[in-house]
């Protein structure tokens, strides 16, 4: 066994907890705990990772957990009863390699959550077009295979009433690769043009409600609503992520938010271990999906005291159902 794996097992593995019968689960041999790998990143420094909060409820259900960086090969993946994608937040530099790792896991016959076909679909934000075609309200978006100077100039003209123009990568996370462009003379114009001259982009109007209201995230485990938060950027910023100074609060979602979130999930025709629906309020007051996070979303367990237990029980049930 490689030294890194020994270290993971020694320092991160959660040992078996109390009898699973306490949770009215089918009887399992307490001497044979099941093993779950959390797919993570090599160096999480600078990120907020909350998945350790699930260790105790998983232990109570008879699971042990080991964290495995996605970029390091594990042979065999079949040593695990399940692999859950949790915090591989550096995969954007090598998305093809990341998908290859997920394919290796499924090829080994190990249960991957969420599954490869969902991750492959959700990795590229063009999935939003499919949701829109199914009637799910999304933030109005234009799609480009690449952007040249004439196109960017036209976009600025078209969005004069709602400048700046927001340009995002179709594959990315954590607000990386986002440009806010207000004029052809700006440095942002030159930078965005250089960045997107040979890669796909999505373009949106700037939503002031992200600064004034915030961005909502609703969390679902095994298809059931768990909890919700609202994320607001720090003063003078537009990014809501904690890593950029965003402020997070728990919130009770409105019926309108719940309807749109569940409409998005219903479009999948599949129950997933975890899903995070990110929504914003448009200028007319209606909610719209800005992202549907199904690959490796932060699940913000600290903002609901029962959320980690709900997650653990959902994982336990889904693996049992597939056995």
CA distance 276 to 141: 20
Q: Distance between CA 296 and CA 39 in Å, rounded?
A: 9
DSSP string, 3-61: HHHHHHHHHHPPPP-S-GGGGTPPP--TTS-EEEEEEE-S--TTS---GGGGHHHHHHT
Q: Count the Cβ atoms, other than its own, within 10 Å of residue 269.
A: 7
- Answer whether 132's CB lies under 8 Å from 138's CB: yes
Domains of the chain with CATH codes: 3-114+307-322 (3.40.50), 123-138+209-294 (3.30.470.20), 142-205 (3.30.1490.20)
pLDDT at 268: 96
pLDDT for residue 20 is more than 50: no
Instruction: Report the distance separating Cα 137 and Cα 310, nearest Å.
Output: 28
Whether 316 contacts 63, CB under 8 Å = yes
* pTM for this entry: 0.86
Tell me the residue length of the chain.
323
What would the pLDDT profile of 212-227 be if each residue is shown by its tens digit? 899 999 999 999 999 9
Q: What share of the chain is helix, strand, coil (3-state, %, to 5)?
A: 35, 25, 40
pLDDT tens digits for range 135-182: 999 999 999 999 999 999 999 998 888 888 899 999 876 567 889 999
Q: What pLDDT is stored for residue 51 in this prediction? A: 97
Closest CA to 42 of 87, 84, 80: 87
Integer Cα distance of 174 and 57 in angstroms: 28
Which residues are 203's β-sheet partners? 142, 167
* pLDDT score for 246: 79
What's the average model confidence in pLDDT over 256-268? 98
pLDDT of residue 233: 85
Nearest alpha carbon to residue 149 among 191, 179, 177, 202: 191
- Residues contacting residue 203 through CB under 8 Å, at least 6 positions apart: 141, 142, 143, 144, 147, 155, 165, 166, 167, 168
Question: Is the pLDDT score of 16 beyond 70?
Answer: no
């Amino acid at each position: 066994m490689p030294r890194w794996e020994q270290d993971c097992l020694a320092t991160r593995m959660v040992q078996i907890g109390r009898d699973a019968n306490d949770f009215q689960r089918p009887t399992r041999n307490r001497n044979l705990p099941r093993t779950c790998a959390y797919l993570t990143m090599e160096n999480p420094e600078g990120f907020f990772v909350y998945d350790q909060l699930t260790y105790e409820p998983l232990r109570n259900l008879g699971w042990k957990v080991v964290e495995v960086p996605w970029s390091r090969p594990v042979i065999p993946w079949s040593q695990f009863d399940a692999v859950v994608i949790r915090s591989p937040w550096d995969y954007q530099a090598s998305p093809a390699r990341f998908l290859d790792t997920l394919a290796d896991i499924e090829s080994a016959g190990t249960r991957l959550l969420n599954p490869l076909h969902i991750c492959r679909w959700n990795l590229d934000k063009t999935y939003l077009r499919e949701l829109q075609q199914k009637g799910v309200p999304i933030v109005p978006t234009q799609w480009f295979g690449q952007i040249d100077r004439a196109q960017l100039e036209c976009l600025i003209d078209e969005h004069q009433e709602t400048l700046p123009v927001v340009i995002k990568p179709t594959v990315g996370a954590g607000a990386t690769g986002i440009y806010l462009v207000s004029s052809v003379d700006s440095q942002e114009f030159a930078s965005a043009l250089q960045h997107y001259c040979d890669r796909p982009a999505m373009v949106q109007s700037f939503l002031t409600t992200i600064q004034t209201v915030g961005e909502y995230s609703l969390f679902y485990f095994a298809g059931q609503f768990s909890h919700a938060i609202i994320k607001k950027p720090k003063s003078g910023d537009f990014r809501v992520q904690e890593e950029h100074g965003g402020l997070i609060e728990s919130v009770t979602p409105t019926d309108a938010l719940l309807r749109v979130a569940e409409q998005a999930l219903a479009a999948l025709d599949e129950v997933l271990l975890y899903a995070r629906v990110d929504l914003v309020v448009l200028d007319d007051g209606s909610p719209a999906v800005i992202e549907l996070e199904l690959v490796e979303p932060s699940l913000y367990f600290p903002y609901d005291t029962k959320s980690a237990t709900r997650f653990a029980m959902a994982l336990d049930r889904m693996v049992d159902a597939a056995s």
